């Protein structure tokens, strides 16, 4: 047994405890299975008995209700049976209810026999009911349909004979309920006895299992104490080594963090300068874009003005053409007025020759001549004004032509300016993109430096924390050694103090030898 390894001993102990738990669990499961089977059986019995009780009670109540209806049909026969048709109707219903009551008795008797319940009282009730039917039939023979008081006479012959069958039916229902209560109490007692037996067996097995587990634990604890003492000795040395190594790592990490922080600060200054340059470049790009937009708007406005000027020139040409046409029309009107004036003179001459007969015609001719003269005068004035308008229109056409030429020249210059501003905006945008890319790269490098600085600081903090954990581990190992009865030697206490003062090569050799010792001690766990 002493040749067993620590792992084998622990596994053996765990397997033994697991086996004990398995036995206890199996016993418990067996008891649970028995309880479940008993509960299932009781449930089935309760369900079946419940069906029996409901059916028996329904049949008993049905026989009672049908019997009361039968008695009521008897009274209907006596009271309403003075007519032959009514007599046959109610007497038929009486016999029908009588047959239903007998069937209820037979069904109830068969149900009680099925569940092994005594049914003698059912047989007695059925016989009483048959005797009652014979009594009713004997009494009905005395019924005289012509006698208005015959129903009273006949009813007195059978008065009170229905009480005994009713009492017997009520007794049957009460006895069925009492039988079911007794059966339920008996099943409850059986289940309680079975549960007590299962609980007792489970308790005994649990006590035995706990006793064996305690004994096994004491044996394993005693056998492991010696090995634990050896391991604590190695752990004490290893914790001191880890403490010194973590101190070195913390110091180197802190130095690296300081250097990284300085580089990050320099990179941050370069990033700020590039940010200013990028800001100026962005403003130049925005200004160039704004100038390009204004040049585009100017070119659009010049294009719009040129189009409107072309439309105005076309309109003035159309006015000039229309004025020429009107001038021709006025000349025609002037000629017509001249011809009319001549005709009026001729008419006046002819009227003068006619004497008094042409006096009226002479007046009309004079008025026509006056109208022709006024028309000629108006046409002359209109022609003069139109000529003046034509002259001014021609002058306007010449001016609009010169303005159009000037606008075309302005449009060409605006297009050249637009292209130049667009070229400047494109160059500024390219410069902006380049500066943004450089700024992004600088920011990425700055973030990397900051991340590295944070990581180195975290590493230094982790090393310091590791040193604290090593000291805590050393204290815990000392406590464990004290629990195992192993005092900490003065040589082990001086390991941590002396390592700080040793050269790096000697410190490395001691670390290596300590790790090798830990590796050898770890074979105890295999």
d(CA 333, CA 376): 7
Of residues 95, 119, 96, the one with CA closest to residue 108: 119
pLDDT for the residue numbered 97 = 92
412, two tokens:
């060409």
Q: What is the pLDDT of residue 80?
A: 84
Percent of the chain past pLDDT 70, that is, above it, reads 73
At 496, the pLDDT band (50, 70, 90 cuts) reads very low
pLDDT of residue 305: 76
CA distance 126 to 109: 10
Q: At what angle do helices 163-354 and 490-499 cross, to 10 degrees?
A: 0
Alpha-carbon dihedral sign for residues 105, 108, 112, 114: positive
pLDDT for 102 = 93
Please give the residue that has the higher pLDDT: either 306 or 89. Answer: 89
Residue 495: what pLDDT? 45
Look at the block and give the residue holding tokens 């021709």: 328
Helix-, strand-, coil-residue percentages of the chain, each rounded to 5: 95, 0, 5
pLDDT digits over 355-380, tens only?
A: 777 777 778 878 887 888 888 888 78
Q: Per-residue pLDDT tens for 256-293?
A: 667 777 777 777 777 787 778 778 777 877 887 887 78
Other beta carbons less than 10 A from residue 426's beta carbon? 13
Q: Higher model confidence: residue 504 or residue 51?
A: 51
Do the Cβ atoms of 52 and 111 come closer than 8 Å? yes
- Grade residue 499 by pLDDT with cuts at 50, 70 and 90: very low
Query: Quick one: pLDDT at residue 497?
Result: 47
Q: Kindly indicate the confidence band of residue 156, based on its pLDDT and cuts at 50, 70 and 90.
A: confident
Residue 500 φ/ψ, nearest 5 degrees: -65, -25
- % residues pLDDT > 90 (the chain): 3
More confident residue, 489 or 407: 407
pLDDT surpassing 80 at residue 79: yes
pLDDT at 103: 94
Q: What is the pLDDT of residue 275?
A: 78
Cβ neighbours of residue 233 closer than 8 Å, sequence gap 6 or more:
481, 486, 492
Give CA–CA dist 477/474, Å, rounded: 5
Alpha helices in 115-162 (DSSP H): 120-140, 150-157
Q: Are the beta carbons of 99 and 137 closer than 8 angstroms?
A: no
Does the pLDDT of residue 132 top 80, yes or no?
Answer: yes
C-alpha 2 chain-centroid distance:
63
d(CA 176, CA 164): 19
What is d(CA 184, CA 49) in angstroms, rounded to the nearest whole number? 9
Higher pLDDT, 89 or 166: 89
Instruction: Please determine, for residue 96, whether its predicted confidence score (pLDDT) is greater than 90.
Output: yes
On average, the pLDDT of the chain sits at: 75
- pLDDT of 153 over the 50 cut: yes
Confidence of residue 525 (pLDDT cuts 50, 70, 90): very low
More confident call, 324 vs 516? 324
Question: How far does CA 5 lie from the centroid of its chain?
Answer: 56
Among 182-196, 299-313, 448-462, 473-487, which is the least confidently predicted range?
A: 473-487
Summarize pLDDT for 174-217 with one digit per residue, the tens.
776 777 667 667 766 776 777 777 778 778 877 887 788 788 77
């Amino acid at each position: 047994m002493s040749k067993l390894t620590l792992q084998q001993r622990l596994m053996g102990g765990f397997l033994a405890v697991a086996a004990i738990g398995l036995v206890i669990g199996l016993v418990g499961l067996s008891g649970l299975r028995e309880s479940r089977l008993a509960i299932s059986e009781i449930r089935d019995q309760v369900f079946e008995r419940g069906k029996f009780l409901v059916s028996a009670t329904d049949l008993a109540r049905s026989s009672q209700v049908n019997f009361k209806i039968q008695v009521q049909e008897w009274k209907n026969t006596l009271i309403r049976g003075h007519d032959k048709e009514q007599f046959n109707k109610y007497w038929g219903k009486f016999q029908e209810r009588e047959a239903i009551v007998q069937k209820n008795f037979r069904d109830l008797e068969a149900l009680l026999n099925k569940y092994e319940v005594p049914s003698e009282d059912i047989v007695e009730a059925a016989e009483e009911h048959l005797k009652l039917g014979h009594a009713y039939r004997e009494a009905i023979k005395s019924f005289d349909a012509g006698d208005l008081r015959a129903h009273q006479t006949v009813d007195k012959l059978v008065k009170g004979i229905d009480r005994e069958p009713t009492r017997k039916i009520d007794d049957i229902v009460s006895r069925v309920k009492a039988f079911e209560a007794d059966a339920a109490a008996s099943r409850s007692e059986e289940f309680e006895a079975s549960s007590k037996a299962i609980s007792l067996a489970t308790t005994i097995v649990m006590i035995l299992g706990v006793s064996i587990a305690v004994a096994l634990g004491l044996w394993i604890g005693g056998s492991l104490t010696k090995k634990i003492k050896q391991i604590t000795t190695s752990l004490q040395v290893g914790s001191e080594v880890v403490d010194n190594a973590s101190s070195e790592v913390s110091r180197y990490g802190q130095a690296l963090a300081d250097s990284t922080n300085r580089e990050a600060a320099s990179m941050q200054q370069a990033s700020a300068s590039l940010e200013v340059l990028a800001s100026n470049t962005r403003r130049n790009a925005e200004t160039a874009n704004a100038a390009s937009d204004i040049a585009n708007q100017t070119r659009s406005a010049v294009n719009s003005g040129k189009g409107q000027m072309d439309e105005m020139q076309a309109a003035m040409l159309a006015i000039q053409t229309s004025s020429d046409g009107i001038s021709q029309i006025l000349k025609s009107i002037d000629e017509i007025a001249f011809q009319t004036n001549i005709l009026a003179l001729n008419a006046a001459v002819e009227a003068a020759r006619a004497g008094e007969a042409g006096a009226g015609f002479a007046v009309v001719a004079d008025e026509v001549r006056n109208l022709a003269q006024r028309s000629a005068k108006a046409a002359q004035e209109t022609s003069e004004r139109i000529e003046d308008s034509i002259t001014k229109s021609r002058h306007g056409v010449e001016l609009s032509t010169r303005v159009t030429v000037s606008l075309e020249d302005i449009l060409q210059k605006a297009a050249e300016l637009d292209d130049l501003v667009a070229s400047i905006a494109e160059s500024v945008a390219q410069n902006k993109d380049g500066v943004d890319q450089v700024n992004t790269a600088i920011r990425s490098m700055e973030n990397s430096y900051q991340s590295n600085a944070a990581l180195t600081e975290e590493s230094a903090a982790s090393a310091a924390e590791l040193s604290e954990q090593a000291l805590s581990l050393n204290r815990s190992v000392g406590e464990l050694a004290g629990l195992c009865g192993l005092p900490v030697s003065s040589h082990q206490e001086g390991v941590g103090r002396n390592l700080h003062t040793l050269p790096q090569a000697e410190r490395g050799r001691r670390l290596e030898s300590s790790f090798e010792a830990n590796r050898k001690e770890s074979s105890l766990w295999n």
